[in-house]
Structure 1
Amino acid sequence: MRPHSQTVKQKSSSDTEREFGGALGAVSITMFLPLTVLYLICVSRSPEASVFHWPPAAPVTEQLWDPLALLLLLAWIALHALLYLLPLGKVSEGLVLRDGTRLKYPINGFHALCITGVLLLLFMGLGAPLGCVFELLLPLAVCAIAASFLFSVCLYIRSFWVPAHALALGGNTGNPLYDFFIGRELNPRIGSFDLKYFCELRPGLIGWVVINLGMLMKEAELRGSPSLAMVLVNSFQLLYVSDALWNEEAVLTTMDIVHDGFGFMLVFGDLAWVPFTYSLQAAFLVVHPQSLSSLGAAAIIALNGLGYYIFRKSNSQKNQFRRDPSHPSVARLETIATATGKRLLMSGWWGFVRHPNYLGDLLMALAWSLPCGFSHLLPYFYVIYFTVLLIHREDRDERQCRAKYGLAWDTYCRRVPYRIIPYIY
């Protein structure tokens, strides 16, 4: 269902389609999103927790820089670089590149998550105050943002020393501002260490779980025990991250790996945006505790379970079909042939809507926010943002699939008219 890079020829800079509003949009996003991260953290810790109130009452006076935050960030990245290199798990090949080769990737992200959990338990057993993450959240975010800019500059510079076939199709426009944002090189590596793949699922995604745990420990320090709302948020999001890492191999066919270059857009998203905005619900609950009834908690758990079921089943069906179309679980599904030789699923989950995994994602996103109550908009920032993100991502995917599959894609769209939400969108 996603485009394969080997079937698309290299475009010149003059006919490469520019995403996100071109250079102006790229510059605006590069300037605006880092400020958004810092602002949202401040709002989550203010008494009002109002996204429309500026300045937030207290957090703007907090320290933005702490050398301990920089030390922790560097140690965290170094730890996961080491775990990435450990000979654990299996090694899988990515899709065929334009030069006909396949890159190899270690599938050991779930091992890294488990080892991280054991290390955290050891440190907590030795008396390490994990709740201090709450006080360090703002300087940690500042350091992550600074590291994202520095890393992106290094990636942009090194991209001029790689062969043309190693560049991303959309990241070689000749406009330095846009190319810096979108990423020039498709798969930057240091030896066998794939920088984009490493950042995609390791330090930021697992960091999100650790930040959540830090918020839980801080709430326990303040109130004697974590609230049911905090436990639900931690549990739901831990399940999501665990699932992503358990099914790590599936990321090798995603748009991020196959199509997008590794520039500021992905670097910042992986290292700063994900860990510090996806953890807003937990940060909010530390300062704004919420009570949940047993019935309310059960309904939220059911909603998250439904979302997860749709998300996992649809993704598993797609991935199984890609790996082995003759497998009994997918062999009887209706498909349509395309000019590329590939076949498109037209039944099962992918005959329900065109992106059933996105529907599951949105249901889970809502379940993560509901434990925070309805008195503030901030905990629902993720739902709003993620809806916009998935609609934009779905539009990019639709355009690429139409360009690749042509009439077959039009036939599929007529057969499956709804994109994400049945009978609505």
Structure 2
Amino acid sequence: MANLVKKRAFEKGDIPTGANASEDAKLGKNLKNFNTWGRDSGTFAATCVLYFFLGLASESSSLFFAQNPLSDNVEISYFTSLMSLFMLIFTPALSNYFYAACYTHGCDLIAPTTFFFGKGMTASKIVWTFVSWLPKPSTGAFIGYSAWLLYQGVMYAIVPSKIGYGQRTPAGYLLLYKVNGFPVYIVTHILYLGLSYAGIIDPALIAKNWGGLFVAANFSGYLFTVFAYVKAHLFPSHPEDRKFSGSITYDLFMGIEFNPRLGKTWDFKLFFNGRPGIVAWTLIDLSFAALQYQKIGYVTNSMILVILIHATYVIDFFYNEDWYLRTIDIAHDHFGYYLAWGDCVWLPFMYTLQAQYLSINPIDLPASLAVAIVVMGALGYYIFRGTNYQKDIVRSSDGNCYIWGKPAEVIRTVYSTSDGKTHKSLLLCSGFWGLSRQFNYVGDLLMSMAMCMACGFNHLLPYFYIIYMYILLNHRIIRSEKRCRAKYGKYWDMYCEKVKWKLCPGLY
């Protein structure tokens, strides 16, 4: 581990020798020629369309409850029900397709499709060939993933924690949460690094068992989706906060229970949002970095940048976990497939595509580009953290504070919950929040772009994250606008009159 960042470069004129000469030559070419897409414009356009519909589908079905924030039993359209069924099938299919692209075709996103062109293969042969590219289950991976979930669940329950409070639920509950993600994250990473350094485990263990872990995570995601559906019907934690749509597929996808729990504090939504996926995020990155080191003898600067940007986001998430209790995932979404499968599979397997890509296609970035990426990532983090800090300080001081050297400008609101009680809240309209109503997403997008650019420009696949995040965040803006208008009424209209832009000042 001490030599994990060993320097080695393919200098101009290097001539690979030995049994791995052709592989090294290919690697050297890849390290130098990072500045070409290697994709034609038609492929680029087709892939962007694919990403667009993915983001549209994943968020559009969520809009329905945003329009009905206080209703308990609602009916949805046939289209929304059908869209939910589509997402239950499409998202695992797409993640499997990405796996095939990465581990059979060198991260060429279109190759799993174009491979069959002009070969005259029968339909059954095409199907079985594609199936052969998919990840295979393994007993060891199932045991390992089960142990991971058990370990995280026990740590969530027993590690001492401070108590955090979320937003008041539609039924009027003010729930408390155990906020101990940061110490659990630190302990977990110390264990991983310590066991790796001692030679007890292979630091590339996760990467080398990626296919089996992928299958195990999918199984777990579906299992907890069904469990959440059954629990909501038979033994809900807070019956008044359930929402029934009348559609089995929609209720499976978006969830029925708002805060399913075991006991008073073991919260499924907080656990799945943070523990199986986000704690693992940087462990996965480190494992693929170790795999890259074992392949080529050093860790590229691009991999280091990806790990640093991901780690910045993840550590901030857990250090400020109390703040996360008031974000859309906890404060508004119900617990179903969207969060159960999404946090078991989508987050750890799709959000780590950059590290996976670089373990297969190692790239050394020029110093100038590396510096530009660092600056972009740092600016994004500054905006991301600054916007959230301003909102928190205004909330904790009841608006009696200074933002950018001036008294905070707020709109004091009154709203009602479904239990008939009246509550007060604040809408901040100065500082970052005076620039646009969701300026925090600008920081998210800058950080997302930085981590993608660290992968160079040979393939579009590692840019999945920024394209998907742009679509997802725009749809979240739509959800937020509808929800806030329903919740705050005239006060929201006043806020929109004062802060005219939704995301980017002067543009949107």
Question: What's the TM-score once normalised by structure 2's chain length?
Answer: 0.77
* Offset of residue 339 of structure 1: 3.8
Matched, 1:420 2:420: no
Which residue is 1:388 aligned to?
A: 471
* Offset of residue 402 of structure 1: 0.9
Match of 2:168 among 73, 86, 96: 96
Against the structure 1 CA distance between its residues 326 and 13, is the aligned structure 2 distance closer, same or farther, given a 3 Å change threshold?
A: closer
- What is the one-letter code of the residue matched to 2:80? G
Match of 1:338 among 404, 410, 413: 413
Against the structure 1 CA distance between its residues 164 and 9, is the aligned structure 2 distance closer, same or farther, given a 3 Å change threshold?
A: farther
Local SS of the residue matching 1:64: coil
Which residue is 1:118 aligned to?
A: 190
CA contact (8 A) 2:288 2:359 kept: yes
Match of 1:259 among 313, 327, 332: 332
Local SS of the residue matching 1:375: coil
Matched, 1:197 2:243: no
Deviations 1:178-214, CA, capped at 9 Å, x for gaps: 1111101111111131111111111111111111111
Matched, 1:106 2:178: yes
Matched, 1:350 2:436: no
* Offset of residue 254 of structure 1: 1.6
* In 1: Cα distance, 2:172 partner to 2:491 partner: 25
Which residue is 1:12 aligned to?
A: 73
Q: Bigger CA drift: 84-93 or 114-123?
A: 84-93
CA contact (8 A) 1:45 1:283 kept: no
Which residue is 2:302 aligned to?
A: 229
* Offset of residue 40 of structure 1: 1.3
Matched, 1:78 2:153: no
Match of 2:251 among 161, 174, 179: 179
* In 2: Cα distance, 1:359 partner to 1:28 partner: 30
CA contact (8 A) 1:209 1:234 kept: yes
Match of 2:494 among 411, 415, 418: 411
* Offset of residue 327 of structure 1: 4.7
Which residue is 2:454 aligned to?
A: 371
Q: Bigger CA drift: 317-326 or 380-389?
A: 317-326
Which residue is 2:93 aligned to?
A: 35
Deviations 1:225-257, CA, capped at 9 Å, x for gaps: 110000100111011000000000012112222
Local SS of the residue matching 1:338: strand
Which residue is 2:349 aligned to?
A: 276
Deviations 1:249-285, CA, capped at 9 Å, x for gaps: 0121122222221101111111111000000000000
Q: CA RMSD in A?
A: 2.3
Match of 2:136 among 38, 53, 64: 64
Against the structure 1 CA distance between its residues 94 and 337, is the aligned structure 2 distance closer, same or farther, given a 3 Å change threshold?
A: closer
Deviations 1:374-422, CA, capped at 9 Å, x for gaps: 1110010000011111011110000001111122212222322221122
- What is the one-letter code of the residue matched to 1:90? K
Which residue is 2:108 aligned to?
A: 50
* In 2: Cα distance, 1:63 partner to 1:117 partner: 26
Q: How many residues are matched?
A: 416
* Offset of residue 85 of structure 1: 1.5
- What is the one-letter code of the residue matched to 1:420? L
CA contact (8 A) 1:22 1:178 kept: yes
* Offset of residue 9 of structure 1: 3.9
CA contact (8 A) 1:94 1:252 kept: yes
Matched, 1:213 2:296: no
CA contact (8 A) 2:305 2:454 kept: yes
* Offset of residue 92 of structure 1: 1.9
Q: Bigger CA drift: 325-334 or 235-244?
A: 325-334
CA contact (8 A) 2:99 2:135 kept: no
* Offset of residue 144 of structure 1: 0.7
* In 2: Cα distance, 1:73 partner to 1:47 partner: 26
- What is the one-letter code of the residue matched to 2:462? P
Against the structure 1 CA distance between its residues 291 and 334, is the aligned structure 2 distance closer, same or farther, given a 3 Å change threshold?
A: same
CA contact (8 A) 1:38 1:142 kept: no
Deviations 1:341-392, CA, capped at 9 Å, x for gaps: 3221111110111111111000000000111111110010000011111011
* Offset of residue 166 of structure 1: 3.0
Which residue is 2:123 aligned to?
A: none
* In 2: Cα distance, 1:21 partner to 1:350 partner: 36
Larger Rg: 2
- Structure 2 regions of 5+ residues with no counterpart? 1-65, 116-128, 416-423
Match of 2:233 among 156, 160, 167: 160
Question: What's the TM-score once normalised by structure 1's chain length?
Answer: 0.92
CA contact (8 A) 1:13 1:172 kept: yes
* In 2: Cα distance, 1:21 partner to 1:379 partner: 32
Against the structure 1 CA distance between its residues 56 and 119, is the aligned structure 2 distance closer, same or farther, given a 3 Å change threshold?
A: farther
Local SS of the residue matching 2:325: helix
* In 2: Cα distance, 1:107 partner to 1:21 partner: 39
CA contact (8 A) 2:383 2:440 kept: yes
- Structure 1 regions of 5+ residues with no counterpart? none
- What is the one-letter code of the residue matched to 1:246? Y
CA contact (8 A) 2:96 2:134 kept: no
Against the structure 1 CA distance between its residues 393 and 62, is the aligned structure 2 distance closer, same or farther, given a 3 Å change threshold?
A: closer
* In 2: Cα distance, 1:63 partner to 1:46 partner: 10
Which residue is 2:217 aligned to?
A: 144
